[in-house]
Amino acid sequence: MQGLVHCASLRERNLLADVSTLVERHRASGARKRDLLRLLAGSLRAAGHDAAVCLSRWDRSPSHPAGDHAYLDVLLPAASERAGRERVLVDVDFRSAFEVARPTKAYRAVLQRLPPVFVGRDDRLRLLVAAAADAARASLKKRGLHLPPWRKPEYMRARWLSPYDREAPQPEASTGELAGDGEGGGPTA
């Protein structure tokens, strides 16, 4: 898990530094989560990033309930002429998503290794979620507790990897509309 926690590239590390600074500034002003995400997206756009609030939604399945989750994505410029833009996910409250009742000492150690703010691509997120969900399952089993549906790996992955709407940037004096194709592909033209 240790190799998954750190940002995979210099671009991700630089974005994490920007995000961490902005999160602290906006949290100090008392912003709540959805407002914090909008403020953060606006600040990142002002700094030259293509950032937006994303709202993922997923349906109920036999293994987990329906839900929705708000997070940011940043579309980084292509690293080369042949590559496309890189989508980086940003969750400002990542670690708390994995908290469970009565964690074991081993699981508390896993939680402490998770970044409080996640910045990275979806492939790294998948691996990190799988490792944390397995550790949560083992912790709850050791305590004799049932694994709730909202802590199963499928549900945890759905938070960030389900179809989403990417909120259009808001002009200064008006409210924005959600724009997206709903299939995880980002905004429509």
Average pLDDT over residues 156-180: 71
Q: Above 90 in pLDDT, residue 7?
A: no
pLDDT at 177: 41
Cross-strand bridge partners of residue 119: 90
CB atoms within 10 A of CB 79: 12
And the tokens for 26? 């906006």
Per-residue pLDDT at 64? 82
Q: How many other C-beta atoms can be found within 10 angstroms of the C-beta atom of residue 39?
A: 17
**Does position 3 have pLDDT exceeding 70, yes or no?**
no
> What is the value of pTM for the model shown?
0.82
Domain contains 135: yes
The SS3 of residue 45 is helix
Q: What is the mean pLDDT of residues 104-124?
A: 93
Residue 179 included in any domain: no
Report yes or no: 91 and 118 within 8 Å, Cβ to Cβ.
Answer: yes
Residue 162: what pLDDT?
92
Domain contains 35 = yes
Both tokens of 118, joined, read 């996640």
Computed over every residue of the chain, the mean pLDDT equals 84
Number of domains in the chain: 1
CA gap 34, 113 in Å, rounded: 25
On whether the CB atoms of residues 65 and 155 are closer than 8 A, the answer is yes
Place 171 in a pLDDT band, splitting at 50, 70 and 90.
Answer: low
Largest CA distance in the chain: 54
Output the pLDDT for position 15.
93
Is residue 24 assigned to a domain?
yes
Instruction: Say yes or no to pLDDT of 84 above 90.
Output: no
**Residue 61 CB coordination number (10 Å):** 13
Q: Within a domain: residue 173?
A: no
Q: Is the pLDDT of residue 33 over 90?
A: no
CB 114, CB 132: distance < 8 Å = yes
Backbone angles phi and psi of 58, in degrees to 5: -140, 150
- Reported as half-sphere exposure (CB side, CA atoms, 13 A), residue 22 has a value of 23
In degrees to the nearest 10, what's the CA dihedral of 145, 67, 165, 131? 10
SS3 at position 50 = strand
Domain that holds residue 102: 2-168
Residue type, 46: A
Q: Is residue 48 part of a domain?
A: yes
Tell me, what's the pLDDT at 176? Answer: 41
> How many other CB atoms sit within 10 Å of the CB of residue 160?
21
With respect to residue 180, please indicate whether it lies within any of the assigned structural domains. Answer: no
The answer to whether residue 175 sits within a structural domain is: no
Q: Give the model's confidence band at 122: pLDDT under 50 very low, under 70 low, under 90 confident, else very high.
A: very high
